[in-house]
Amino acid sequence: MVQVVFRHGARSPLKSLPQKEQQVEWNPRLLEVPPQTQFDYIVTDLTGGPKPHSPLESQYRKTVLKGGMFAGQLTNVGMWQMFALGERLRKNYVEDVTFLSPTFNPQEVFVRSTNIYRNLESTRCLLAGFFRHPKEGPIIIHTDEASSEVLYPNFQNCCSLRERIRGRKQAASLQPGISEDLKKVKEGLGMASSEEVDFILLFDNMAAEQVHGLLSCPTLKRFTQMIEQRAVDTVLYMHSEDRENLQMMVGPFLHLLQSNLLSAVDPTFPAGKTRKLYLYSAHDVTLMPLLMALGIFDHKWPPFAVDLTLELYQHQESKEWFVQLYYHGEEQVPRGCPDRLCPLDQFLNTMSVYALNPEKYHMLCSRAQETGL
Protein backbone atom coordinates (compact mmCIF):
# COMPACT_ATOMS: atom_id res chain seq x y z
CA MET A 1 0.00 0.00 0.00
CA VAL A 2 1.20 3.51 -0.88
CA GLN A 3 0.17 6.90 0.51
CA VAL A 4 1.29 10.10 -1.24
CA VAL A 5 0.91 13.56 0.31
CA PHE A 6 1.83 16.28 -2.17
CA ARG A 7 1.90 20.05 -2.37
CA HIS A 8 -0.03 21.71 -5.21
CA GLY A 9 1.86 23.05 -8.24
CA ALA A 10 3.21 26.56 -8.84
CA ARG A 11 0.70 29.36 -8.30
CA SER A 12 0.35 33.11 -8.07
CA PRO A 13 1.16 34.69 -4.67
CA LEU A 14 -1.44 34.60 -1.89
CA LYS A 15 -0.98 38.32 -1.25
CA SER A 16 0.92 41.09 -3.06
CA LEU A 17 3.77 43.07 -1.58
CA PRO A 18 2.40 46.45 -0.47
CA GLN A 19 4.32 48.65 -2.94
CA LYS A 20 3.01 48.77 -6.48
CA GLU A 21 6.48 49.25 -8.01
CA GLN A 22 7.62 45.96 -6.43
CA GLN A 23 4.73 43.98 -7.94
CA VAL A 24 5.08 41.90 -11.10
CA GLU A 25 2.27 41.40 -13.61
CA TRP A 26 0.33 38.17 -13.28
CA ASN A 27 -1.04 37.74 -16.79
CA PRO A 28 -4.11 35.44 -17.20
CA ARG A 29 -2.25 33.77 -20.11
CA LEU A 30 -0.49 31.82 -17.35
CA LEU A 31 -3.81 30.06 -16.72
CA GLU A 32 -4.00 28.37 -20.16
CA VAL A 33 -4.45 24.63 -19.64
CA PRO A 34 -2.01 22.32 -21.51
CA PRO A 35 -4.15 19.73 -23.39
CA GLN A 36 -2.08 16.81 -22.01
CA THR A 37 -3.15 17.69 -18.46
CA GLN A 38 -6.89 17.41 -19.16
CA PHE A 39 -8.62 14.79 -17.01
CA ASP A 40 -12.31 14.63 -16.23
CA TYR A 41 -13.24 14.77 -12.55
CA ILE A 42 -16.06 15.62 -10.16
CA VAL A 43 -15.75 16.76 -6.54
CA THR A 44 -17.83 15.30 -3.71
CA ASP A 45 -17.72 15.49 0.06
CA LEU A 46 -16.24 12.54 1.98
CA THR A 47 -19.54 10.63 1.91
CA GLY A 48 -20.14 11.14 -1.82
CA GLY A 49 -22.53 14.08 -1.35
CA PRO A 50 -22.33 17.49 -3.07
CA LYS A 51 -19.10 19.50 -3.09
CA PRO A 52 -18.95 21.67 0.05
CA HIS A 53 -18.62 25.45 -0.08
CA SER A 54 -15.02 26.70 0.06
CA PRO A 55 -14.69 29.88 2.16
CA LEU A 56 -10.91 29.99 1.58
CA GLU A 57 -11.38 29.96 -2.20
CA SER A 58 -13.91 32.79 -1.88
CA GLN A 59 -11.29 34.79 0.04
CA TYR A 60 -8.62 34.27 -2.62
CA ARG A 61 -10.97 35.50 -5.34
CA LYS A 62 -11.38 38.80 -3.54
CA THR A 63 -7.66 39.51 -4.08
CA VAL A 64 -6.91 40.55 -7.67
CA LEU A 65 -3.20 40.83 -8.43
CA LYS A 66 -1.55 43.30 -10.79
CA GLY A 67 -2.11 41.88 -14.30
CA GLY A 68 -5.58 40.44 -13.54
CA MET A 69 -5.04 37.02 -11.93
CA PHE A 70 -6.49 36.10 -8.55
CA ALA A 71 -4.35 35.23 -5.55
CA GLY A 72 -3.28 31.59 -5.27
CA GLN A 73 -4.22 30.45 -8.78
CA LEU A 74 -2.54 27.38 -10.26
CA THR A 75 -0.62 28.33 -13.42
CA ASN A 76 0.34 26.24 -16.45
CA VAL A 77 3.85 25.99 -14.93
CA GLY A 78 2.23 24.34 -11.90
CA MET A 79 0.08 22.14 -14.15
CA TRP A 80 3.19 20.79 -15.88
CA GLN A 81 4.89 20.23 -12.51
CA MET A 82 1.97 18.11 -11.33
CA PHE A 83 1.77 16.22 -14.63
CA ALA A 84 5.50 15.37 -14.23
CA LEU A 85 4.88 14.12 -10.67
CA GLY A 86 2.05 11.94 -12.01
CA GLU A 87 4.40 10.53 -14.66
CA ARG A 88 7.02 9.72 -12.00
CA LEU A 89 4.40 7.92 -9.89
CA ARG A 90 3.22 6.01 -12.98
CA LYS A 91 6.81 4.87 -13.65
CA ASN A 92 7.20 3.75 -10.02
CA TYR A 93 3.88 1.95 -9.56
CA VAL A 94 2.64 0.97 -13.03
CA GLU A 95 5.66 0.56 -15.33
CA ASP A 96 8.65 -0.48 -13.17
CA VAL A 97 6.49 -2.59 -10.83
CA THR A 98 3.01 -3.82 -11.77
CA PHE A 99 1.43 -2.57 -8.57
CA LEU A 100 -1.51 -0.62 -10.05
CA SER A 101 -3.66 -0.93 -13.16
CA PRO A 102 -2.51 1.36 -16.01
CA THR A 103 -5.94 3.03 -16.05
CA PHE A 104 -7.63 4.60 -13.05
CA ASN A 105 -9.52 2.08 -10.91
CA PRO A 106 -11.52 3.46 -7.94
CA GLN A 107 -11.21 0.07 -6.21
CA GLU A 108 -7.44 0.61 -6.13
CA VAL A 109 -7.07 4.39 -5.73
CA PHE A 110 -8.62 6.87 -3.29
CA VAL A 111 -8.17 10.57 -4.06
CA ARG A 112 -8.65 13.37 -1.54
CA SER A 113 -7.85 17.07 -1.78
CA THR A 114 -8.37 20.23 0.21
CA ASN A 115 -11.34 22.12 -1.21
CA ILE A 116 -9.22 24.79 -2.86
CA TYR A 117 -9.28 25.10 -6.63
CA ARG A 118 -5.47 25.06 -7.14
CA ASN A 119 -5.36 21.75 -5.25
CA LEU A 120 -8.25 20.20 -7.15
CA GLU A 121 -6.66 21.26 -10.45
CA SER A 122 -3.22 20.06 -9.32
CA THR A 123 -4.78 16.67 -8.59
CA ARG A 124 -6.32 16.63 -12.07
CA CYS A 125 -2.90 17.22 -13.66
CA LEU A 126 -1.23 14.57 -11.49
CA LEU A 127 -3.91 12.04 -12.47
CA ALA A 128 -3.46 12.91 -16.15
CA GLY A 129 0.27 12.14 -15.88
CA PHE A 130 -0.35 9.03 -13.77
CA PHE A 131 -3.23 7.37 -15.63
CA ARG A 132 -3.31 9.18 -19.01
CA HIS A 133 -7.04 8.59 -19.57
CA PRO A 134 -9.79 7.54 -17.14
CA LYS A 135 -11.37 4.15 -17.83
CA GLU A 136 -14.93 5.43 -17.97
CA GLY A 137 -16.52 8.69 -16.88
CA PRO A 138 -15.07 11.25 -14.48
CA ILE A 139 -13.08 10.21 -11.43
CA ILE A 140 -14.11 11.41 -7.97
CA ILE A 141 -11.95 13.73 -5.87
CA HIS A 142 -13.13 13.68 -2.26
CA THR A 143 -12.97 16.79 -0.10
CA ASP A 144 -14.22 17.96 3.28
CA GLU A 145 -16.00 20.91 4.85
CA ALA A 146 -13.61 23.73 5.77
CA SER A 147 -14.68 23.44 9.41
CA SER A 148 -13.47 19.82 9.71
CA GLU A 149 -10.62 19.69 7.15
CA VAL A 150 -7.51 17.83 8.41
CA LEU A 151 -5.26 18.16 5.33
CA TYR A 152 -3.98 21.50 6.62
CA PRO A 153 -3.64 23.03 10.11
CA ASN A 154 -7.23 24.05 10.78
CA PHE A 155 -7.10 27.39 12.58
CA GLN A 156 -10.85 27.84 12.13
CA ASN A 157 -11.57 24.60 13.94
CA CYS A 158 -8.85 24.74 16.63
CA CYS A 159 -9.05 27.74 18.98
CA SER A 160 -5.99 26.78 21.03
CA LEU A 161 -3.83 26.53 17.90
CA ARG A 162 -5.14 29.83 16.55
CA GLU A 163 -4.30 31.64 19.78
CA ARG A 164 -0.84 30.10 20.11
CA ILE A 165 0.21 30.81 16.53
CA ARG A 166 -1.15 34.37 16.54
CA GLY A 167 0.99 35.25 19.53
CA ARG A 168 4.11 33.59 18.19
CA LYS A 169 3.81 34.95 14.64
CA GLN A 170 3.82 38.53 15.93
CA ALA A 171 6.82 37.76 18.14
CA ALA A 172 8.79 35.97 15.38
CA SER A 173 9.61 39.15 13.42
CA LEU A 174 11.03 40.70 16.62
CA GLN A 175 13.51 37.89 17.26
CA PRO A 176 17.25 38.74 17.12
CA GLY A 177 18.59 38.03 13.64
CA ILE A 178 15.15 37.89 12.05
CA SER A 179 14.31 41.51 12.95
CA GLU A 180 17.67 42.90 11.71
CA ASP A 181 17.44 40.99 8.43
CA LEU A 182 13.83 42.09 7.92
CA LYS A 183 14.87 45.71 8.39
CA LYS A 184 17.65 45.23 5.83
CA VAL A 185 15.27 43.76 3.20
CA LYS A 186 12.62 46.45 3.84
CA GLU A 187 15.24 49.16 3.33
CA GLY A 188 16.36 47.50 0.10
CA LEU A 189 12.75 47.46 -1.09
CA GLY A 190 12.23 51.10 -0.06
CA MET A 191 9.56 50.15 2.48
CA ALA A 192 8.78 52.02 5.67
CA SER A 193 9.75 50.08 8.81
CA SER A 194 6.08 50.27 9.88
CA GLU A 195 4.97 48.33 6.75
CA GLU A 196 3.33 45.03 7.75
CA VAL A 197 5.56 42.62 5.87
CA ASP A 198 7.16 39.45 7.20
CA PHE A 199 9.53 36.90 5.70
CA ILE A 200 6.71 34.47 4.91
CA LEU A 201 5.00 37.08 2.67
CA LEU A 202 8.34 38.01 1.09
CA PHE A 203 9.21 34.37 0.41
CA ASP A 204 5.77 33.58 -1.00
CA ASN A 205 6.09 36.38 -3.58
CA MET A 206 9.72 35.56 -4.34
CA ALA A 207 9.11 31.81 -4.83
CA ALA A 208 6.08 32.42 -7.06
CA GLU A 209 7.96 34.97 -9.19
CA GLN A 210 11.11 32.84 -9.50
CA VAL A 211 9.39 29.67 -10.67
CA HIS A 212 7.62 31.68 -13.40
CA GLY A 213 10.76 33.59 -14.42
CA LEU A 214 9.11 36.85 -13.32
CA LEU A 215 11.58 38.04 -10.66
CA SER A 216 11.82 41.75 -11.32
CA CYS A 217 13.04 43.19 -8.04
CA PRO A 218 16.86 43.16 -7.60
CA THR A 219 16.50 43.28 -3.79
CA LEU A 220 14.51 40.03 -3.67
CA LYS A 221 17.05 38.45 -6.00
CA ARG A 222 19.97 39.65 -3.87
CA PHE A 223 18.46 38.28 -0.66
CA THR A 224 17.01 35.04 -2.09
CA GLN A 225 18.75 32.61 0.30
CA MET A 226 18.31 34.81 3.34
CA ILE A 227 14.58 35.31 2.67
CA GLU A 228 13.96 31.56 2.40
CA GLN A 229 16.04 30.82 5.51
CA ARG A 230 14.30 33.52 7.56
CA ALA A 231 10.86 32.36 6.36
CA VAL A 232 11.74 28.86 7.63
CA ASP A 233 13.15 30.35 10.87
CA THR A 234 9.85 32.22 11.34
CA VAL A 235 7.85 29.00 10.95
CA LEU A 236 10.18 27.13 13.30
CA TYR A 237 9.82 29.88 15.90
CA MET A 238 6.02 29.82 15.54
CA HIS A 239 5.80 26.03 15.94
CA SER A 240 9.04 25.53 17.91
CA GLU A 241 8.65 21.78 17.20
CA ASP A 242 6.41 21.84 20.26
CA ARG A 243 4.55 18.54 20.69
CA GLU A 244 1.10 20.04 21.29
CA ASN A 245 1.49 22.54 18.43
CA LEU A 246 2.39 19.75 16.00
CA GLN A 247 -0.43 17.58 17.34
CA MET A 248 -2.97 20.33 16.70
CA MET A 249 -1.52 21.10 13.27
CA VAL A 250 -1.25 17.61 11.78
CA GLY A 251 -2.36 15.19 14.52
CA PRO A 252 -5.68 14.31 12.82
CA PHE A 253 -3.96 13.85 9.44
CA LEU A 254 -1.28 11.61 10.98
CA HIS A 255 -4.11 9.64 12.60
CA LEU A 256 -5.68 9.18 9.15
CA LEU A 257 -2.38 7.99 7.61
CA GLN A 258 -1.86 5.69 10.61
CA SER A 259 -5.39 4.26 10.28
CA ASN A 260 -4.76 3.44 6.61
CA LEU A 261 -1.60 1.52 7.57
CA LEU A 262 -3.38 -0.38 10.35
CA SER A 263 -6.32 -1.27 8.09
CA ALA A 264 -3.96 -2.58 5.39
CA VAL A 265 -2.26 -5.02 7.80
CA ASP A 266 -5.43 -6.10 9.62
CA PRO A 267 -6.53 -9.51 8.21
CA THR A 268 -10.05 -8.98 9.60
CA PHE A 269 -10.52 -5.65 7.81
CA PRO A 270 -12.89 -5.99 4.78
CA ALA A 271 -10.72 -6.29 1.65
CA GLY A 272 -12.96 -4.01 -0.42
CA LYS A 273 -12.59 -1.13 2.06
CA THR A 274 -8.83 -0.61 1.68
CA ARG A 275 -7.05 0.84 -1.36
CA LYS A 276 -3.65 0.21 -2.87
CA LEU A 277 -2.98 3.93 -3.28
CA TYR A 278 -4.13 6.99 -1.31
CA LEU A 279 -3.48 10.41 -2.86
CA TYR A 280 -3.72 13.53 -0.68
CA SER A 281 -3.47 17.00 -2.22
CA ALA A 282 -2.20 19.39 0.45
CA HIS A 283 -0.03 22.46 1.15
CA ASP A 284 3.37 23.65 2.35
CA VAL A 285 1.78 24.37 5.74
CA THR A 286 0.78 20.68 5.88
CA LEU A 287 4.12 19.27 4.84
CA MET A 288 6.35 21.28 7.17
CA PRO A 289 4.75 20.05 10.42
CA LEU A 290 4.43 16.53 8.96
CA LEU A 291 8.16 16.48 8.20
CA MET A 292 8.92 17.86 11.69
CA ALA A 293 6.76 15.18 13.33
CA LEU A 294 8.55 12.44 11.36
CA GLY A 295 11.98 13.93 12.18
CA ILE A 296 12.95 14.48 8.53
CA PHE A 297 12.48 18.25 8.07
CA ASP A 298 15.48 19.55 6.08
CA HIS A 299 14.97 23.21 7.09
CA LYS A 300 14.00 24.12 3.53
CA TRP A 301 10.61 25.38 2.42
CA PRO A 302 8.69 22.55 0.67
CA PRO A 303 8.76 23.43 -3.04
CA PHE A 304 5.75 23.40 -5.34
CA ALA A 305 4.65 19.87 -6.38
CA VAL A 306 6.85 18.14 -3.79
CA ASP A 307 5.68 14.75 -2.49
CA LEU A 308 5.98 12.78 0.75
CA THR A 309 5.42 9.09 -0.01
CA LEU A 310 4.85 6.24 2.47
CA GLU A 311 5.22 2.71 1.09
CA LEU A 312 4.11 -0.35 3.08
CA TYR A 313 5.87 -3.69 2.45
CA GLN A 314 5.45 -7.23 3.76
CA HIS A 315 8.44 -9.58 3.94
CA GLN A 316 7.62 -12.65 1.83
CA GLU A 317 9.06 -15.17 4.30
CA SER A 318 8.80 -13.66 7.78
CA LYS A 319 5.50 -11.86 6.94
CA GLU A 320 6.76 -8.83 8.90
CA TRP A 321 5.60 -5.38 7.81
CA PHE A 322 7.91 -2.47 6.96
CA VAL A 323 7.48 1.17 5.94
CA GLN A 324 9.69 3.05 3.51
CA LEU A 325 9.51 6.84 3.37
CA TYR A 326 10.44 9.17 0.51
CA TYR A 327 10.48 12.97 0.38
CA HIS A 328 10.95 14.63 -2.99
CA GLY A 329 11.85 11.20 -4.40
CA GLU A 330 14.72 10.74 -1.89
CA GLU A 331 14.78 7.93 0.71
CA GLN A 332 14.38 9.10 4.32
CA VAL A 333 15.01 7.52 7.71
CA PRO A 334 12.23 8.68 10.08
CA ARG A 335 12.89 9.44 13.74
CA GLY A 336 13.03 6.25 15.82
CA CYS A 337 13.77 4.00 12.83
CA PRO A 338 17.01 1.98 12.52
CA ASP A 339 17.18 2.14 8.74
CA ARG A 340 15.36 3.33 5.61
CA LEU A 341 13.24 0.13 5.76
CA CYS A 342 11.50 0.73 9.07
CA PRO A 343 9.63 -2.00 10.98
CA LEU A 344 5.97 -0.97 11.02
CA ASP A 345 5.62 -1.03 14.81
CA GLN A 346 8.57 1.38 15.18
CA PHE A 347 7.17 3.69 12.51
CA LEU A 348 3.75 3.65 14.22
CA ASN A 349 5.46 4.54 17.52
CA THR A 350 7.00 7.62 15.85
CA MET A 351 3.60 8.63 14.44
CA SER A 352 1.74 7.99 17.70
CA VAL A 353 3.69 10.75 19.49
CA TYR A 354 1.82 13.29 17.35
CA ALA A 355 -1.22 11.46 15.90
CA LEU A 356 -4.55 12.45 17.48
CA ASN A 357 -7.91 10.75 17.15
CA PRO A 358 -10.87 13.15 16.71
CA GLU A 359 -11.82 13.09 20.41
CA LYS A 360 -8.31 13.96 21.65
CA TYR A 361 -7.95 16.60 18.94
CA HIS A 362 -11.17 18.39 19.93
CA MET A 363 -10.22 18.17 23.61
CA LEU A 364 -6.81 19.75 22.96
CA CYS A 365 -8.22 22.41 20.62
CA SER A 366 -10.95 23.53 23.00
CA ARG A 367 -8.71 23.63 26.08
CA ALA A 368 -8.35 27.05 27.72
CA GLN A 369 -5.19 28.66 26.39
CA GLU A 370 -2.38 29.33 28.83
CA THR A 371 -1.27 32.93 29.02
CA GLY A 372 2.23 34.25 28.48
CA LEU A 373 2.74 33.33 24.83
Q: Cα–Cα distance between 280 and 250 in angstroms, integer?
A: 13
Tell me which residue of 317, 320, 318, 323 sits closest to 340, measured CA to CA: 323
Q: Cα–Cα distance between 232 and 315 in angstroms, integer?
A: 39
Kindly provide the b/e burial profile for residues 19-37, where b requires at least 16 CB atoms within 10 angstroms of the residue's own CB: eeebbbebeeebbeeeeeb
**Residue tagged active-site, from 144, 204, 233, 284:** 284
Helix, strand, or coil here: 280? strand
Asked if residue 297 lies in contact with residue 288, where contact means CB atoms within 8 angstroms, the answer is yes
Dihedral (CA of 202, 204, 210, 213) sign: negative
368 Cβ contact list (under 8 Å, min separation 6): none
**Apex 150 CA angle, 335 and 37, nearest 5:** 95
| First CA to last CA distance, the chain | 42
Asked if residue 123 lies in contact with residue 141, where contact means CB atoms within 8 angstroms, the answer is yes
Helix, strand, or coil here: 56? helix
Element (H, E) at 311: strand 307-314
Tell me which residue of 268, 267, 262, 201 sits closest to 230, measured CA to CA: 201
Check if 181 is active-site: no
Tell me which residue of 115, 152, 164 sits closest to 365, measured CA to CA: 164
Name the residues annotated as catalytic.
8, 284
